Amino acid sequence: MDVAFRLWTLAAFVAADAAKCPKGCQCIRTEDCRQLVECRKLSAFPAEYPDGTDCVFLQSSALGKLPPSDIREGLGMLPSATKWLDLAKAKLGEIGEGWFEHLPELRVLNLEFNQLKAIPAFAFRGLTKLKVLWLTGNHYQRDEMEYKKMKAL
């Protein structure tokens, strides 16, 4: 009876957790993430995330079509405990100053294969724990001023 109760409790916990997963997303636990929320083919940022979310992968090219104010607001909805944020291939054309500053635990930020042409001076303000920043595949050229700034990071 004790084993059956534990299994039922575990199943109820998993079901409740899955119910909080944003529509169109997959929520799983991994070795690196207590709670990974992975979303593809979104037309907007999720409005909420399951408790304990610390890794968020939002790889949807439609996000880049949103107005900058909606992108900033969507990023603002990310849990402050997020330690890994993947926005690769989201077709983002810009990022603004302070868009990530509410993510003090962020350690990995993937902005690969977007359409970034410039990075504001204070785009990563407050990210004192950031260890990995991926920018491959954006529109930087060696002779551009922004390329020299990125190389200095």
What is the per-residue pLDDT for 19? 58
Cα–Cα distance measured from residue 27 to residue 48, given in angstroms and rounded to the nearest whole number? 12
Pick from 98, 103, 110, 106: nearest CA to 135: 110
What's the pLDDT tens digit per position in 88-122?
Answer: 999 999 999 999 999 999 999 999 999 998 888 89
pTM of the model: 0.80
Cα–Cα distance measured from residue 131 to residue 111, given in angstroms and rounded to the nearest whole number? 14
Residue 148 scores a pLDDT above 80: no
Cα 111 to Cα 2, 8, 54, 63, 104: the distances in Å are: 48, 41, 17, 13, 18
With H, G, I as helix, E, B as strand and everything else as coil, classify residue 126: coil
What is the per-residue pLDDT for 6? 43
